[in-house]
Structures are given as structure tokens and as C-alpha cells.
């Protein structure tokens, strides 16, 4: 979907984001924060 209009668009459209990619980014950020917290950063 397009982040600006929140409308579903075909794959490969410039500026579009995917639900899978969004969740992968969230998961990666949780992992990085967990590592940083465990190291006392």
C-alpha cells in the first residue's frame, strides 16, 4: 500500500510498503533494543 494514501497498489510500485516489511522492521528494532538493553547501553 502507499504510505501517503493507505491504498493498496500493485507490487513494485515506487513508494509502496508491505505489511511483511513493516513487521520485519519492527521485529528488527525489538531485537536491537533487547541487545542494547542487555549490554547496558
pLDDT in tens, 11-41: 888 889 988 989 999 999 999 999 999 999 8
The pLDDT value given to residue 36: 97
Q: Answer with the residue of higher pLDDT: 29 or 3.
A: 29
Range of the domain at 11: 1-41
CB-based contacts of 4: which residues, under 8 Å, 6+ apart?
Answer: 15
Q: How many domains is the chain partitioned into structurally?
A: 1
Within 1-41, strands assigned E span none
Neighbouring C-beta atoms of residue 11, cutoff 10 Å: 6
Whether pTM > 0.75 for this model: the answer is: no
First to last CA, the chain: 36
Look at residue 19 in the predicted model and tell me its pLDDT. 87
Amino acid at each position: 500500500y502507499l504510505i501517503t494514501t493507505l491504498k493498496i497498489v500493485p507490487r513494485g510500485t515506487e513508494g509502496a510498503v508491505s505489511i511483511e516489511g513493516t513487521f520485519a522492521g519492527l521485529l528488527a528494532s525489538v531485537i536491537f533494543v533487547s541487545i542494547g538493553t542487555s549490554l547496558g547501553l
